[in-house]
Each structure stands twice: as C-alpha cells, then as structure tokens.
Amino acid sequence: MKNLLLIAGLAAILSCNENKKQEDHKEEMKENLQEAGDNLKSAANNAGEYLKEQKQQTEDSLEKRIKEIDDKTAALRKEGSKKSKEAAMKLDELKEKMSKKLDEIKNASQDKWDSTRATADELMQETDKQWDALKNLFK
C-alpha cells in the first residue's frame, strides 16, 4: 500500500511539473504569436503608407501634365491656324487618356497597383514623346 501511495504521489508531482512546463510553453507561444501579429500589422501599415505615397506622386504627375496640356491647348486654340487646331485635337485626345488613367490610379487597389502604375508610366512616356513631337511642329 505504501508503494502504491508513493507511486501515486510521484505521478501527481510529475504531472504537476509537466503542466507547468506546458503552461510555460503555451505562454511563450502566445507571446511569439502576439509579436508576429504586431510585426505583420506594422508591415501592413508601412506597405499601406508606401502605396498611398506612390499613388499620390503618380496622381500629382498626371495632374501636372493635364494642366500643362490644358494651358498649351488654350494657347493653340487662340492661334487659330490649321496646324494649331490639329495639335490641340491631339492634345485633347492625350488629355482624355490621361484623365482616364488618373481615375484608374485614384481607384487602384493595392493588389492591382503595380500594373496600374506600369501603365501610367507608359502613358507618361507616350505623352513625353507626343509633347516633344508637338514642340517640333512649332519650331
């Protein structure tokens, strides 16, 4: 009987000790998960801020170019020559493309941002070429 009580007591002590280790391990896992969650939130916030900043820069660039197109178109229309009217029409088409792209950028989600920005960059390059071509017409 003494042996049975001794074994039962020893088993109880060991099981209590094991529970303490399990509790410590669970607590450590909770802390690690909390830290990982905090890191993930921080990374998401940083990514969100970066996206917001990139979108704003692209929007500003397009808005600036649209303003330049508006100014140049107004000047060309005042001239009244056939060449000026043709150039103004081309600029109006270009402005329409840029306005559509600006709307896309304003509504772009994070997962589609890379492709939206790439097409915006291509449009800016296209407008640079057309802008230079129009300048050469009037030299």
pLDDT tens-digit readout, 78-118:
887 888 888 888 888 888 988 888 888 888 777 777 777 78
Both structure tokens of 87: 């150039």
Tens of pLDDT, residues 100-111 = 888 888 887 777
Q: What pLDDT band is residue 20 in, cutting at 50, 70 and 90?
A: low
How far is 105 from 91, CA to CA, in rounded Å? 21
Both structure tokens of 29: 């896992």
- Indicate the angle between helix axes 2-79 and 82-107, nearest 10 degrees: 170
Report the pLDDT averaged over residues 21-47. Answer: 67
CB 105 within 8 A of CB 62: yes
